[in-house]
Amino acid sequence: MKRLVLFCLFITSSSLCPLFKVGNARRAARPRFEIITKVLPFTRAILDADPRGSMTLKEKRVFVLRRRVAQARATVDRCIKEINALETIRDESLDRLKVQALDERTRMRAGLEKINNREESIERLKVRALDERLGKLRRDAGIAESRIVFMKGKQRALGMPRREGLWFDFVRGFEKFLATEEASARVLQKQLEEADDLLGVYSLLREDTLSLLRLGSKPSLVKGYVSLQKAERLIPHTAAIASRIAKLERYAPGILVAVDGYLEVIEPHLDDILLRFDSFEQHVPFVLDHLDVLAPHIGSLMPHIDSLLLFADDGGKYLDVLLPYIPRFAPLLDDLACHLILLRPHMRKILPHFPVIAPSAYNFKDQLSVSENADILVFYFGWILRIPRLGRAVLGLPFMPRLAAFLARKLPKWPVRKGTSGVVCNFEGCEIYA
């Protein structure tokens, strides 16, 4: 029995020579170990012994280096796939913008329609946002490549032989696949950890299995997913998809229609999406309806999903209004995300002025007090924002961010907030929304 269990763990480990770490903190970093011992509790006693005890220090270092190289290769592969997908979307946007430069007779001869000024502005912002994202992905890929070169140097210093030949090409591909699949295994691990006991684990597995069988009994649906462009890229995410299939079942037909043409840009972030699925499940219909707007920026939006979901509460009344601003703000979220929770209580007052505020928002990235007291500034200076050209000119002044921050702190708050001007929200259940 012990040999059988060790063999099963061998083929599912993150390398061809699995080494299981001792201790809860270390074991948590090995999702496959936790999944197997959660489903088959009797294997924990068998596998608790550390098989590295018989290994030399050099052998341990060799294993760690090869595992890290595989992880870096998986990162490079993920970046390249997203870069290729985004470049395709960017080229399509540029083609639409080129139509604007054609004269009316040429457009009529080619059967092309000119987009209106608002759509043209959104397309230009989209191209700019994609350029920002592509630059970041290329930097990330370059950093991962440099890590590979660095670790290869350490391997040579240890005297590790070069792995050449068809067999070792397969080994490297398998190691990279397992490094990619590890994030998917973490999604399944998280689902199993939420079960209270072994009965809960098997109940969860039974529910997911039944959902898979129901979906598999619909040939047209299965054929649709199999025929998706680049559908084979879903294979490393099998564990994550299977762990969430009970909740995905009701959305499966809509997902099939929506992701067609966007799977390549969504796939690198699929594990993160499924890991956080519970937090935005109620908004899945909205996401599917507007995937053409959201998908190109998903890499910029997902790291800040917690802050963004603040604007999806209250029946999602702000979602449709804020959707056109996604191309403008998506590449700026790394700098502006900390402002979102401060702005949320004041959305009702600042939303009418968004077209004037949005072009200059990035200039205020270091002035958190402006977002915290946005209602105060709108009360005293909203009349300026109601004149679009004047508002844009004033907000574009180089000294305006610091001046606005000073005024936000010093202006009287009681005319706006009345009796709550001195109240500070410092407990978990505090209601901040407006």
Q: Is the pLDDT of residue 197 over 60?
A: yes
Mean pLDDT over residues 61-67, rounded? 85
d(CA 25, CA 111) in angstroms, rounded, equals 62
Q: Is the pLDDT of residue 367 over 70?
A: yes
Mean pLDDT over residues 109-123, rounded? 66
d(CA 274, CA 251) in angstroms, rounded, equals 13
Q: Write out the two tokens for 427.
A: 């407990």
The pTM of this model reads 0.82
Q: Write out the two tokens for 200.
A: 């809960």
What share of the chain has pLDDT > 70, as a percent? 83
Using left for φ > 0, alpha for ψ between -120 and 50, and beta otherwise, residue 113 falls in beta
Cβ–Cβ under 8 Å, residues 63 and 19? yes
Cβ–Cβ under 8 Å, residues 176 and 74? yes
Amino acid identity for residue 5 in this structure: V
The confidence band for 246, taking pLDDT boundaries of 50, 70 and 90, is: very high
d(CA 253, CA 221) in angstroms, rounded, equals 7
| Total residues belonging to the chain | 434
Sort 249 into a burial class: Cβ within 10 Å, 0-12 / 13-18 / 19+. middle
Distances (CA, A) of 218 to 212, 223, 229, 250, 254: 10, 9, 20, 13, 14
Q: Is the pLDDT of residue 50 over 60?
A: no
What pLDDT was estimated at residue 392? 92
d(CA 291, CA 174) in angstroms, rounded, equals 33
Residue-wise pLDDT for 198-209, tens only, equals 888 889 899 999
What pLDDT was estimated at residue 173? 86
Q: Write out the two tokens for 422.
A: 């001195």
Query: Helix or strand or coil: residue 56?
Result: coil
Amino acid identity for residue 333 in this structure: L
Cβ–Cβ under 8 Å, residues 377 and 370? yes
